[in-house]
Chains A and B, each alone.
Chain A
Amino acid sequence: MSEKPLISARGLSVGFKIGSGMFSKSILKAVDNVSLDIEKGSFFGLVGESGSGKTTLGRAFLKAVPITGGHAAYNDDEVSYDLGTLTGPALKDYRKRAQLIFQDPYAALSPRMTVRDIIAEPLEVMGLTKSREETDARVREIAAKCRLNLEHLRRFPHAFSGGQRQRISIARALVSRPNFIVADESVAALDVSIQADVLNLLKDIQREMGLTFLFISHDLSVVAHTCDHLAVMYLGRLVETAPTRTLFKAPRHPYTKALFSAIPSLDPDDRRGGQKLTGEIPSPTNQPPGCKFHTRCPNVIDRCRVEEPTLENPGDGHSVSCHRWRELLAVPAG
């Protein structure tokens, strides 16, 4: 693709000051030196365990947390923004173009507002419509796209099930006609039978409206089915990124391999489960030296304990951050 990516990050870091004492101040690096491109029209998946920094990275792209290092840029057909320095009217304009769908549809909708008002609120706040009629028309248009019953617009959220509520949240995120959507664990709170419905809806809408999605999830089978491109995070670093199929067929990073083998198999006779990781993700305030994964890595060597690997792109679009990935290619996963 010769076109510029919609979102592009170079050495992006997000740090938080922790501790309030005069001498005990330290920086927690939730996202550390991340470089990645999200192409226009892609469904980009971000996976990792809790504490890996995936939510923080998503929020940095939305400018909901301050970027403390590196660069992030947004480019669509009309505008180009440097997200690090965006302020004032340009930031307001960016809010129209980038939107968030939350995880919990029970907490994200105000119980005191009707569905119509919930969906219309972004239009009114951003001043995107000139009259009530225009607002209503926009609300009805997007509600229909999200397969909501138009007669339900006058009801309150409590009358709806989890799946319906999530469709309302989606409609609210889409009503300002954004280009870029961050969906943070947007199906994690839903039952399996409903989850597939919401995923199909997101895919349909993405295709129909030409949107770009950053889909954050801890559920690998969900991202495998919805995303065309994946990035795996561990302790604030990007450890591997590749097209979904490539990543599932031939993961290069030992962490990615371990994540895949930890997915419980639906086959009751396949209970060996492959290579299991021992231990847990270290605390981000007390990060190990060298490769961040070395404390749990089954393939660790002395070099990993002292020298941090960089994200290496061998030219096939499948980048990995591991000292030993080339020699490990010969070893089958699990």
Chain B
Amino acid sequence: MTVLIDVQNLTLKFRTDEGLITAVDDVSFTIDKGEVMGLVGESGSGKSVTAKALMHLNAKNAVYAPESKILLHTDAGVVDVLKLRTAKELKVARGGAISMIFQEPMASFAPAITIGSQMVEQLLIHGDMTKARAKEISIEMLDRVGISDPSKRFDQYAFELSGGMRQRAMIAMALSTKPSLLIADEPTTALDVTIQAQVIDLMKDLVAEFHMGILFITHDLGVIAQTADKVSVMYLGKVIETGPVRDVIRHAKHPYTQGLLAALPKLDDLDAPLTPVAGDIPSPLERPPGCVFHTRCPQIIGDVCKAKLPQRVQLDANHSVACHLYSEGGKA
């Protein structure tokens, strides 16, 4: 396995009127070539901010901790994305080696420019080719993602396409520069379930064909089970559990992961009661001390959870969890 991106100790705060707000706290992970990593979490967990950091796309008031590193492995060597400054330097992380598809495809296309010119524009920025060749590649890509009559669609505007079609066009555009890492931020959340199934299938085919890595961000554990090889679960900016998708879904260790799974309505047992995770997600301004989950944790083991930050415990080669139950002699 070759490492594609290596995120080390990513800590990110936003400077606001009310003070510094921690959005991502000491997050580390790697994604290999051809690997799909799922990042799961609820709103406010920091998953989208983490993804944007990989392209250095966060707003101007973002403050990265000095020890944070995002090492992108490219054909031309290793670059630290956080050290890139000028637009020219950043090209490699923004559409060059990394591409991103967003949740709401309508908001991601410029409304007054045809789909085709937007695709050609980015190809010309990232590659050395003629306009005619860029058009050829774009139409090929539209065809590849299952858009019928691609040369007609090429000249249409985003509003002329349906939701599923737009998301396909978005994927075609993101992949036309042949990125080695694709970031997909809730790519199917705005879609109907039958269209979601189509888009998931398409993405799986494309990973196999292009052999790229994918960072798949979603709040839907079912979508993760269907797409990812490994998964990290985030809560209030911390990765609280990480491991192969089978281990995390079948043998969840962290009380939060267990709670998320229990809260999902299951179709094979309609009589099972729905068990919510008690309480509400704390406001980012009132970040709990100690373990960030202790205010809602049903298995809290006393003062240690309230005061001390749990360290990451390696349960086996690939499965790790940050919880005192496993480090303080609880269940370890």
Q: Which residues of A are in contact with B by a Cβ distance under 8 Å?
A: 49-50, 161-164, 191-197, 199-200, 218, 220-222, 224-225, 244-245, 248, 258-269, 271, 273, 276-278, 280-281
Which B residues lie within 8 Å of A262 (CB)?
A: 193-194, 196-197
B226 touches A192 (CB 8 A): no
For the complex, give the distance between the alpha carbons of A273 and B227 in Å. Answer: 12
| Residue B274 interfacial (CB < 8 Å) | yes
Complex Cα distance, B224 from A265, in Å, reads: 9
Q: Give the Cβ gap from A185 to chain B, nearest Cβ, in Å.
A: 13
B140 CB to closest chain A CB (Å) equals 21
**Contact: A268 with B276, CB < 8 Å?**
no
Chain B nearest CB: distance from A216 CB in Å?
A: 14
Q: B276: which of A194, A258, A276 is its contact (CB, 8 Å)?
A: A194
User: Smallest distance from the beta carbon of B65 to chain A beta carbons, Å?
Assistant: 27
For A221, what are the chain B residues with a Cβ–Cβ distance below 8 Å? 264-267
Q: Mark B residues whose CB is within 8 Å of A.
A: 42-43, 162-165, 192-198, 200-201, 219-223, 225-226, 245-246, 249, 259-261, 263-267, 270, 273-277, 280-281, 283
Q: Is the CB of A220 within 8 A of B193?
A: yes
List, in ascending order, chain B residues with CB within 8 A of A263's CB: 193, 222, 267
Docked Cα-Cα span, A278 to B197, in Å, equals 10
A268 and B246 in contact, given A161-B281, A195-B276, A273-B201 (Cβ under 8 angstroms): yes
Query: Which residues from A are CB-within-8-Å of B265?
Result: 196, 199, 221-222, 224-225
Minimum CB–CB distance for A246 against chain B, Å: 12
Which residue from chain B places its CB closest to the CB of A197 in the assembled complex?
Answer: B276
- Chain B residues contacting A218 (CB-CB under 8 Å) are 192-193
> Can you give 27 contacting A-B residue pairs, CB < 8 Å?
A49-B192, A49-B194, A164-B280, A192-B42, A192-B219, A192-B263, A193-B42, A193-B259, A194-B42, A194-B276, A195-B263, A196-B274, A200-B274, A218-B193, A220-B193, A224-B265, A262-B194, A264-B196, A264-B197, A265-B226, A266-B222, A267-B249, A268-B249, A273-B197, A277-B194, A277-B198, A280-B165
Bound CA span A271–B36, Å: 15
The number of inter-chain residue pairs (CB within 8 angstroms) is 123
Q: Distance (Å) between the CB of A298 and the closest chain B CB?
A: 12
By beta carbon, the residue of chain A nearest B270 is A224
Q: Which 9 A-B residue pairings sit nearest by Cβ, starting from the closest?
A: A264-B222, A193-B277, A197-B276, A196-B276, A191-B42, A196-B274, A49-B192, A225-B265, A262-B197
Cβ of B162 and Cβ of A280 under 8 Å apart? yes
Bound state CA distance, A193 and B42, in angstroms? 8
Cβ contact within 8 Å between B222 and A265: yes
For the complex, would chain B's binding face be called helix, strand, loop or mixed by DSSP majority?
helix
| Docked-complex contact B270 and A225, CB < 8 angstroms | yes
| Chain B contacts for A261, CB-based, 8 A | 197
Closest B residue to A50 using CB positions: B192
Known: A49-B194, A191-B281, A196-B263. A265 touches B276 (CB 8 A): no
CA–CA, A278 to B195, complex, Å?
A: 8
A266/B197 contact (C-beta < 8 A), A161-B281, A225-B274 known? no
Instruction: Output the nearest chain A residue to B226 by Cβ-Cβ distance.
Output: A264
Nearest chain A CB to B234 CB, angstrom units: 12
Q: How far is the CA of A12 from the CA of B264 in the complex (A)?
A: 35
Least CB distance, B165 to chain A, in whole angstroms: 7
Q: Within 8 Å CB of A281, what residues of B?
A: 192
Report A-chain residues with C-beta under 8 Å of the C-beta of B162.
Answer: 280
- Docked complex Cα distance between A259 and B98 (Å): 34
Give the shortest distance, in Å, between A209 (CB) and chain B (any CB). 20
Which residue of chain B lies nearest to A160 when distances are taken between CB atoms in the complex?
Answer: B280
Closest B residue, CB atoms, query A296: B194
Distance of A245 Cα from B265 Cα, bound (Å): 14
What is the distance, in angstroms, from B205's C-beta to the closest C-beta of chain A?
A: 12
Give the contacting residue for A194; candidates B163, B200, B280; CB below 8 A.
B280
**Shortest Cβ distance from residue A142 to the other chain B in the assembled complex, whole angstroms:** 20
Query: In the docked arrangement, what's the CA distance between A197 and B201, Å?
Result: 32
Check A161 against B280 for contact (C-beta < 8 Å): yes
Q: A192-B42, A276-B201 are in contact. Are A259 and B194 (CB under 8 A)?
A: yes
Q: How far is the CA of A49 from the CA of B198 in the complex (A)?
A: 14
Given A161-B280, A193-B277, A277-B194: A264 and B263 interface contact (C-beta under 8 Å):
no
With a cutoff of 8 Å between Cβ atoms, the chain B residues found around residue A199 in the complex are: 265, 274
Contacts of B226 in A (CB 8 A): 264-265, 268, 271, 273
A265: chain B residues at CB < 8 Å are 222, 225-226
Which chain B residue has the least Cβ–Cβ distance from A264?
Answer: B222
- The answer to whether B267 touches A268 (Cβ under 8 A) is no
Instruction: Give the chain A neighbours of B223 by CB distance below 8 A.
Output: 264
Taking a contact as CB atoms closer than 8 A, the residue among B165, B261, B276 that contacts A200 in the complex is: B276
CA distance A303 to B192 in the complex (A): 28
Cα–Cα distance between A268 and B280 once the two chains are bound (Å) = 29
B270 touches A259 (CB 8 A): no
Taking CB atoms, residues of chain B closer than 8 Å to A200 are 273-274, 276
A192 cross-chain contacts in B, Cβ below 8 A: 42, 219, 221, 260, 263-264
Residues in A with CB closer than 8 Å to B198 are 276-278
Q: Which residues of A contact B164 (CB under 8 A)?
A: 280
Which of B196, B226, B273, B281: most chain A Cβ within 10 A? B226
- Residue A193 contacts which of B222, B225, B245, B260 (CB distance < 8 angstroms)? B260
* Distance of A163 Cα from B196 Cα, bound (Å): 26
Beta-carbon nearest neighbor of B204 in chain A: A271
Extra contacts, 11 of them, besides A264-B220, A277-B197 (Cβ < 8 A), are A49-B195, A194-B277, A196-B274, A199-B265, A199-B274, A218-B192, A260-B267, A264-B196, A264-B223, A276-B197, A280-B164
